[in-house]
Structure 1
């Protein structure tokens, strides 16, 4: 599998999401309202020390690495998630009825955050929508399902924030939104990938049914700068 996805955050901050990046050539991060993600080369022994000098006290970050990481001095581990990275290997011809799928914009952000708080698909801030291509499904005027894009690492694009309100599970909303998103990504000449908790069996079943295959483990470390 392409080495770009061994370190997707740093790759995205250097390439497709460079317009959202802060930091230096070697040490990069997003505005926290966009994403807590930070990135640097995995072989950079001074990465966290240099990042410490760039960020203010109390700044929360998210670091992703395929192999277990040692928490560096000056940082407090708040949460660790063992996840999996999936890469799309399905059909390049996506067909479906996407007539009930709506493009989401800034005026929907409060509803998006409310849905994320309820379903907990991963970090989502007031400006996460800046990654682009967020779409949702509404029921009686209320946002009940959504998905979008996050990391854009060279020729790979990550599907993200796949979530459905608990009262609307089983209606095929997540599958339809993901197929719609796959269509967008493939039409842009990009290769879809995503991340998921390794114990989220329901989501994994959906992803595998759509044509995603496991690429590698990915460990996620939520930390705070002391």
Structure 2
């Protein structure tokens, strides 16, 4: 399959544009290192490229591929999981920066708390160097990080909002909405278009995103693959 839109193949386009500094491998089959993200990409979603990726990646940890269509995964890869989800895009006019709880920029010193929060809430993969994607912000209660959000894939003018999560003890306080609005404003101020991905089963998050003005653009399937 040859994707027709940048966001049909967001990881590949990100690795060739805004996240190029984090890219490894040939242009046709680039990937992030596992300490940043498990994502890899193919210029075209073909069996030949899947085989080349298998032969090229120098590590054995699982990788994840995005596709707007269902794929047939064959040897030498083993399919560990398929995550069904949606890709949503925000195209409404810019809104004023929100007023709300104090938000702090997150740095390397906050990584242990970021890892703990994402492990508890499972918003998506988050590793020791995921913060290298940039623009992560959080809300603290005392010294505890209780909510966060940031940006991940930067595919030309499209910027993905990611790692949106709130500690279970602090839900329903509007923290996620406030952090999302901050990211939307930041992206639009840079003349970008916000987008994000969400699991199809996560109805709470989908309702929030749609209430804020995000619109579903396409199905998105994430294939978690393991070397045999």
Q: TM range, normalised to the smaller chain?
A: over 0.9
Q: How far did 1:124 drift?
A: 0.5
For 2:146 and 2:59, the matched residues in 1 are separated by: 36
* Equivalent position of 2:146 in the other structure: 144
Q: How far did 1:93 drift?
A: 2.1
* Equivalent position of 1:95 in the other structure: 97
Q: Deviations over 1:51-74 (max 9, x none)?
A: 111123522100110111111212
Q: Which moved more, 1:207-216 or 1:52-61?
A: 52-61
Contact 1:98/1:180, CA 8 A, preserved across alignment: no
Contact 1:90/1:210, CA 8 A, preserved across alignment: no
For 1:195 and 1:146, the matched residues in 2 are separated by: 16
Alignment of 1:6 onto 2:8: yes
* Equivalent position of 1:20 in the other structure: 22
Superposed, 1:1-226 pairs within 5 Å as 3-56=5-58, 58-98=60-100, 100-226=102-228
For 2:58 and 2:174, the matched residues in 1 are separated by: 43
For 1:43 and 1:115, the matched residues in 2 are separated by: 34
For 2:201 and 2:110, the matched residues in 1 are separated by: 30
Q: Deviations over 1:84-104 (max 9, x none)?
A: 000002331233115501000
Contact 1:94/1:179, CA 8 A, preserved across alignment: no
For 1:144 and 1:40, the matched residues in 2 are separated by: 36
- Structure 1 runs not aligned, ≥5 long: none
For 1:24 and 1:209, the matched residues in 2 are separated by: 40
For 1:18 and 1:57, the matched residues in 2 are separated by: 20
Normalized against structure 1, the TM-score is what?
Answer: 0.96
Q: How far did 1:199 drift?
A: 1.5
- Structure 2 runs not aligned, ≥5 long: none
For 1:156 and 1:223, the matched residues in 2 are separated by: 26
Report the CA distance shift for 1:141/1:172 in structure 2 as closer, same or farther (over 3 A): same
Tell me the matched-pair count. Answer: 225
Q: Give structure 1 regions of 4+ aligned residues with deviation exceeding 6 angstroms.
A: none
Q: Deviations over 1:73-119 (max 9, x none)?
A: 12112221100000002331233115501000000001001000100
- Alpha-carbon RMSD: 1.3
For 1:204 and 1:132, the matched residues in 2 are separated by: 24
For 1:98 and 1:70, the matched residues in 2 are separated by: 46
For 1:181 and 1:56, the matched residues in 2 are separated by: 34
Contact 2:38/2:63, CA 8 A, preserved across alignment: yes
Normalized against structure 2, the TM-score is what?
Answer: 0.95
